[in-house]
Structure 1
């Protein structure tokens, strides 16, 4: 199951992505927001990142105005690899090279059609492993050494 959430800055794009994903038959759970009223993005980042970190969800999508805040907040959770993507190439590489388990998008900086393409690319590609796995292992060791905890 794919989890998706946004703050107020990403609400409109989230709504479009939810409709796009449902039309494709993707099983997803929309964790909010449910309107354009101002909220704090870390609260919504945690709703997606905590289950991904715990292993109860495989992947998620987060959207805020620029994507920066959601990326910072989500990456505080152990095992989360939240990647802020700006185009199709970065979305695809986030999956193939970085095994990103959360895709982060900027609702105020992306065209909705491009965002749909980006999500499709991210969902449609797999992690390549190999030399990339060695790099992820190093990131895991950094997390362990730093005592990252939420």
Structure 2
């Protein structure tokens, strides 16, 4: 795990992601300086966009520096989170994508599918995501600037 003094993580998920989210919370709780659980707190049916917004608010408010969102497939929360300016979210079901998404694309939210992967792989993916640091090589910075320009101005 990275330096726990500087790692503030917001995590959330819908009913389909609830069991895996809870396992991640339990595993991370002692390894980060701050863990903000944005819900849900049961397996009762609920709407995934609410948790994408809750996690994003923690990041954009500066209370967290990385976010994790879990739903059934990871797709819904990824789509919802990416509608929020300032959020760069990706669905990752392998460690390479989780690490490279941060290193090359400055990804700040990891999305995973609680019905797609098991807990041990999820823990490895979360660890890869949390350990990764953005490496602003010229090509990475240039590409990220283009993404931020699209976010700011659209495609008009």
Q: How does the TM-score come out when normalised to structure 1?
A: 0.92
1:65, 1:26 → 2: CA distance?
A: 28
2:34, 2:123 → 1: CA distance?
A: 16
Contact 1:3 1:28 in 2 (8 A): yes
Matched, 1:91 2:91: no
Q: Residue 138 of structure 1 corresponds to which residue in structure 2? A: 146
Q: Residue 68 of structure 2 corresponds to which residue in structure 1? A: 61
Structure-to-structure mapping, 1:116-127, within 5 angstroms: 116-127=123-134
Matched, 1:128 2:135: yes
Aligned-pair distance for 1:54?
4.5
Q: Deviations over 1:60-93 (max 9, x none)?
A: 1000000000001001111110011011111111
Aligned residues: 147
Matched, 1:37 2:44: yes
Aligned-pair distance for 1:46?
0.4
Q: Residue 112 of structure 2 corresponds to which residue in structure 1? A: 105
2:57 to 50, 53, 62: 50
Contact 2:13 2:70 in 1 (8 A): yes
Structure 1: state its 5+ residue gaps.
none
Contact 1:42 1:69 in 2 (8 A): yes
Q: Deviations over 1:84-112 (max 9, x none)?
A: 10111111111111111101110000110
Q: Secondary structure at the match of 1:114?
A: helix
Q: Deviations over 1:32-79 (max 9, x none)?
A: 010100001011110011332344432110000000000010011111
Q: Secondary structure at the match of 2:19?
A: helix
Structure 2: state its 5+ residue gaps.
1-7
Which consecutive segments of 4 or more residues in structure 1 shift more than 4 A? Answer: none
